[in-house]
């Protein structure tokens, strides 16, 4: 396959570069940034380029960015916006890195080098953070830089067997005909998004864009399709599997028993969570057997590591999800180099954006917005 060089791309909060995987070959990264040296090392291992600059986005200046990019991508930190975090919002240090990105785009605008299109990705908790005030502040900040701003809520489960809803904020200097609709419609304008936009100040709400994005073809893979054959030493001890089963609620255990009784082979993704039952904190193991893994998370502790429960007749076996399997659930190809060590790899993918989601968003919306010609393919 041959391609012309894609439109220039800046990639902020780049992690291991999974957004880049989705944006290439229509966009070509000319500058990437991440504050985490381990993630930057993974990025360089994957792309073997000198584009990566390690450091805080607040320390970057306009002079650090080459030329003018057609698109700037920013998967800014989610810890202060996630339901699993402390919900401190955009004023907190980590998710507040958005303002460092905003400052940089503002400086580029003064030099008439600001990208024509911005794409920001984060957890859907941004919509409810401070009752929607944080989302409105973000939209107002980009609107103040001369961008027309809209957003889409997309679940990676449309593309890969992993439940991973994320919010994509798309800001563009122009709104070409056919790329927007007059009001919310379709699967990507969620009720949460519609509600927060309805509560915006009138002027900001009237400027908000409802981007048009076609639904993708139906996904044809299940969790079990992406799993490797398990080495004998990777299985949990039988006692650990039994403990996992005992941590399930009666309803969850009944579901497992029904699969056993059916005789079919099935695999479920399992997380441990703390639930309040009768006024007490109880650790529960919760499994899903709908062919989809739970949302991958960073392995901050044992409860955040996703496990797999294999049901093969009466036999039950369990193990952790492997780094390569996590990579596949994020849409990374098998030639993508994994970081050394399971924890480092799972941290990388738990923080990443799903590459096939980015690819669909790019092909359907970002490429036409940026005026980038799709990469040419040859037979």
DSSP assignments along 243-270, one per residue: HHHHTS-HHHHHHHHHHHHHT-EEEEEE
Coil vs helix vs strand at 7: strand
Residues 314 and 361 in one domain: no
Q: Peptide bond preceding 212: is omega within 30 degrees of 0, i.e. cis? A: no
Q: Which CATH number is 33's domain given?
A: 3.40.50.150
Whether 339 is in a domain gets the answer no
What pLDDT, on the 0 to 100 scale, is given for residue 300? 66
Kindly report the average pLDDT of the chain as a whole number.
Answer: 90
**378 has pLDDT over 80:** no
What pLDDT, on the 0 to 100 scale, is given for residue 375? 62
Contact 53, 60 (CB under 8 A): yes
Whether 340 is in a domain gets the answer no
Confidence of residue 317 (pLDDT cuts 50, 70, 90): very high
Whether 33 is in a domain gets the answer yes
Partners of 274 in the β-ladder: 283
Confidence of residue 85 (pLDDT cuts 50, 70, 90): very low
Mean pLDDT for the stretch of residues 295-303: 73
Confidence of residue 379 (pLDDT cuts 50, 70, 90): very low
Residues 123 and 200 in one domain: yes
Residues 211 and 269 in one domain: no
pLDDT, tens digit, 9 for 90 and up, residues 31-55? 999 999 999 999 999 998 789 999 9
Phi, psi of 268 (to 5 degrees): -120, 145
**Domain of residue 281, residue span:** 229-321
Residues 109 and 203 in one domain: yes
Whether 291 is in a domain gets the answer yes
**302 has pLDDT over 70:** no
Closest among 23, 131, 128, 126 to 72, alpha carbons compared = 23
Token pair, residue 6, equals: 């894609």
Residues 250 and 365 in one domain: no
Confidence of residue 157 (pLDDT cuts 50, 70, 90): very high
Residues 102 and 164 in one domain: yes
Contact 116, 108 (CB under 8 A): no
Whether 377 is in a domain gets the answer no
| CA dihedral (204, 128, 161, 302) positive or negative | positive
Whether 264 is in a domain gets the answer yes
Instruction: Look at residues 321, 336, 356 and tell me which one is the last residue of a structural domain.
Output: 321
Cα–Cα distance measured from residue 294 to residue 271, given in angstroms and rounded to the nearest whole number: 8
- How many structural domains does the chain have? 2
Residues 291 and 267 in one domain: yes
pLDDT, tens digit, 9 for 90 and up, residues 342-353? 889 999 999 999
Whether 336 is in a domain gets the answer no
Contact 309, 316 (CB under 8 A): yes
Confidence of residue 92 (pLDDT cuts 50, 70, 90): very low
Residues 189 and 308 in one domain: no
Residues 207 and 271 in one domain: no
What pLDDT, on the 0 to 100 scale, is given for residue 277? 85
Mean pLDDT for the stretch of residues 120-141: 92
Residues 109 and 153 in one domain: yes
Residues 305 and 160 in one domain: no
Token pair, residue 295, equals: 């949302």
Whether 223 is in a domain gets the answer no
Q: Is 44 left (phi over 0), alpha (psi -120 to 50) or beta?
A: alpha
Residues 134 and 25 in one domain: yes
Cα–Cα distance measured from residue 159 to residue 360, given in angstroms and rounded to the nearest whole number: 9
């Amino acid at each position: 396959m041959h391609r012309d060089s894609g439109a220039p791309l800046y990639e902020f909060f780049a992690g291991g570069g999974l957004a880049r995987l989705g944006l290439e070959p229509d966009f070509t990264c000319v500058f990437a940034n991440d504050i985490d040296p381990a993630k930057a090392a993974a990025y360089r291992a994957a792309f073997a380029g000198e584009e990566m600059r390690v450091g805080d986005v607040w320390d970057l200046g306009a002079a650090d960015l080459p030329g003018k990019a057609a698109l700037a991508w920013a998967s800014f930190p989610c810890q202060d916006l996630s339901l699993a975090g402390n919900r401190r919002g955009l004023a907190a240090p980590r998710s507040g890195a958005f303002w460092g990105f905003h400052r940089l785009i503002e400086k580029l605008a003064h030099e008439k080098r600001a990208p024509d299109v911005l794409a920001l990705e984060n957890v859907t908790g941004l919509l409810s953070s401070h009752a929607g005030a944080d989302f409105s502040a973000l939209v107002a900040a980009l609107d103040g830089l001369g961008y027309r701003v809209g957003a889409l809520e997309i679940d990676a489960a449309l593309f890969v067997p992993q439940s991973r809803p994320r919010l994509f904020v798309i800001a563009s200097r122009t709104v070409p005909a056919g790329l927007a609709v007059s009001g919310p419609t379709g699967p990507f304008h969620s009720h949460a998004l519609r509600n927060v936009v309805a509560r915006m100040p009138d002027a900001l709400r009237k400027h908000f864009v409802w981007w048009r994005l076609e639904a993708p073809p139906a996904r044809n893979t299940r969790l079990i399709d992406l799993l490797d054959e398990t080495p004998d030493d990777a299985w949990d001890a039988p006692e650990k599997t039994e403990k996992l089963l005992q941590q399930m609620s009666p309803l969850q255990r009944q579901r497992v028993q029904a699969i056993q009784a059916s005789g079919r082979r099935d695999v479920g993704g399992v997380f441990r969570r703390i639930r309040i039952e009768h006024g007490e904190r109880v650790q529960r193991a919760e499994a899903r057997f709908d062919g989809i893994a739970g949302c991958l998370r960073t392995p901050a502790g044992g409860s955040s590591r996703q496990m797999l429960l294999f049901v093969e007749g009466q036999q039950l076996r369990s193990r952790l999800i492997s780094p390569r399997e996590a990579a596949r659930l994020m849409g990374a190809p098998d030639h993508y180099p994994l970081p050394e060590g399971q924890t480092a790899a799972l941290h990388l993918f738990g923080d990443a954006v799903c590459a096939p989601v980015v690819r669909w968003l790019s092909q359907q919306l970002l490429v036409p917005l940026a005026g980038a010609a799709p990469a040419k393919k040859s037979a």
